């Protein structure tokens, strides 16, 4: 193959053009980089200083979650600051040293704060947060040693430890999120603005991004992808923080032993024998929940139902467990039965029937929740069930 030799007077022009293209690309990236940094600062200031909820005004999010999420956004903004020298310095030892410092600070600050935010989202019980810092401490020590000695001999051990840590975090979070989901079904009838299963996907993406970063996979495209992931994480954490209802049980703790004021007999028996009260839970549920249709109220919790019927919350929870069901299934089962009665009355009167309207009149606040509960109870969607009922009514009777 014959090589084409460019004239000497044209070579500098091509070189300068290549340098200009590189400079433009770098400037564009720095603009994007700075935009994500500013977005972090805005999100942090919003959570710290705005008292109201601009995203979901009807929801009161946990104050503790807002503060930890604001701290995470502040750490993300600082992360962009301490990585800035890597994009300004020329390639060499100084740039690589800046890369090591940035990585050490990330695993010591950003990663544990992200894990803390995900843990605070789980409101079934207060969890200790200090293990998140202890977990990343070996990585910080190894990173500090690499920076001080300018040696990378321990990096293979750092990689191995980080992979094991990521696997452990995922296993732990899956277990805790499932436990939190069971707690929700045991204590709440409506799960809207309470579930956090999306956090597992966010955690998986975040750990994958950290692994790509640590193993130095990719080039310029990777840098853009990382900034895009950062922007998406800001959006998710901001949305989840503002749309997650405060499920603090502190206000109910002092009320667990309260009884219905109109039932002095039950109060006396509670002082003498808890077994007698457990035997009366079924009739009390029919008297104070099913007959007056208390289940039609939106977002009633197990604690509220316990106060309504005058039973200790723990006894009521144990009652549902002994029946092989959950509080969520019990309430939604009553609501679905109410929905069927409303449908039958409307069909008999030849009135126009709207599934969504009947669902809301049956106590469901969300049509998606109703559809899921109906399918679990009846084995089919409400629309298909109504179609089958219509077909049965149209069949000639023999």
Note down pLDDT in tens along the chain; length 398 residues. 444 444 444 445 554 444 455 666 777 878 888 899 999 999 999 999 988 888 888 888 999 999 999 999 999 999 888 777 666 655 555 666 777 777 788 888 988 999 999 999 999 988 999 999 999 999 888 888 887 887 778 888 888 898 899 899 999 999 999 999 999 999 998 888 898 998 888 888 888 877 776 666 556 677 788 888 889 889 999 999 999 999 975 444 434 444 443 444 444 444 444 666 667 888 999 999 999 999 999 888 999 999 998 888 888 998 999 889 999 999 999 999 999 999 999 888 888 888 899 999 999 988 888 998 999 888 888 888 888 887 776 666 55
Give the global pTM. Answer: 0.80
Q: Which helix (H) or strand (E) holds 68?
A: helix 63-88
Q: And the tokens for 299? A: 């977002």
Q: Which helix (H) or strand (E) holds 89?
A: none
User: Phi, psi at residue 301, to the nearest 5°?
Assistant: -105, 170
**Positive or negative CA dihedral for 118, 212, 71, 113?**
positive
Say how far apart CA 364 and CA 297 lie, in whole Å. 8
User: pLDDT per residue over 348-376, tens digit each?
Assistant: 888 888 889 999 999 998 888 899 899 98
* Distance, C-alpha 334 to centroid of its chain: 28
Q: Is 188 exposed, middle or buried (0-12, 13-18, 19+ CB in 10 A)?
A: buried
Say how far apart CA 180 and CA 198 lie, in whole Å. 13
**Cβ neighbours for 242, distance < 8 A, ≥ 6 positions apart:** 53, 54, 55, 56, 59, 61
User: pLDDT per residue over 241-286, tens digit each?
Assistant: 999 999 975 444 434 444 443 444 444 444 444 666 667 888 999 9
Q: Is 196 helix (H, G, I), strand (E, B) or coil?
A: coil
* Distance, C-alpha 390 to centroid of its chain: 40
Say how far apart CA 340 and CA 359 lie, in whole Å. 10
């Amino acid at each position: 193959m014959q090589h084409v030799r460019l004239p000497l007077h044209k070579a500098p022009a091509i070189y300068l053009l290549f340098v200009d293209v590189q400079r433009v690309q770098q400037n564009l990236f720095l603009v994007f980089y700075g935009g994500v940094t500013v977005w972090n600062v805005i999100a942090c200031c919003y959570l710290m200083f705005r008292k109201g909820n601009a995203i979901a005004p009807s929801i009161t999010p946990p104050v503790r979650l807002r503060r930890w999420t604001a701290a995470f956004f502040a750490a993300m903004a600082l992360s962009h600051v301490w990585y800035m020298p890597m994009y300004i310095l020329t390639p060499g030892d100084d740039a690589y040293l800046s890369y090591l410092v940035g990585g050490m600070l990330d695993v010591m600050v950003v990663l544990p704060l992200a894990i803390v935010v995900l843990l605070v989202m789980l409101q079934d019980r207060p969890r200790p947060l200090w293990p998140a810092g202890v977990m990343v401490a070996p990585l910080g020590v190894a990173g500090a040693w690499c920076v001080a000695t300018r040696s990378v001999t321990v990096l293979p051990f750092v990689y191995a430890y980080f992979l094991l840590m990521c696997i452990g975090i995922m296993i732990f979070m899956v277990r805790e999120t499932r436990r939190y989901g069971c707690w929700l079904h045991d204590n709440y009838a409506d799960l809207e603005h309470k579930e956090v299963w999306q956090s597992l996907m966010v955690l998986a993406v975040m750990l994958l991004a950290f692994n790509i970063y640590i193993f130095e996979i990719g080039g310029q495209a990777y840098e853009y992808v990382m900034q895009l992931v950062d922007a998406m994480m800001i959006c998710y954490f901001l949305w989840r923080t503002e749309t997650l209802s405060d499920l603090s049980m502190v206000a109910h703790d002092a009320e667990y032993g309260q009884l219905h004021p109109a039932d002095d007999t039950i109060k006396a028996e509670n002082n003498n024998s808890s077994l007698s009260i457990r035997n009366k839970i079924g009739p009390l549920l029919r008297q104070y929940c099913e007959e007056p249709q208390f289940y039609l109220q939106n977002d009633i919790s197990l604690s509220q139902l316990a106060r309504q019927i005058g039973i200790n919350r723990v006894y009521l929870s144990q009652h549902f467990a002994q029946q092989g069901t959950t509080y969520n299934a019990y309430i939604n089962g009553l609501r679905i039965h109410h929905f069927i009665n409303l449908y039958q009355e409307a069909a008999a009167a030849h009135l126009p029937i709207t599934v969504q309207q009947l669902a809301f009149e049956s106590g469901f606040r969300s049509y998606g929740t109703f559809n899921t509960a109906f399918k679990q109870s009846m084995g089919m969607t409400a629309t298909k069930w109504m179609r089958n009922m219509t077909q049965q009514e149209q069949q000639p009777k023999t």
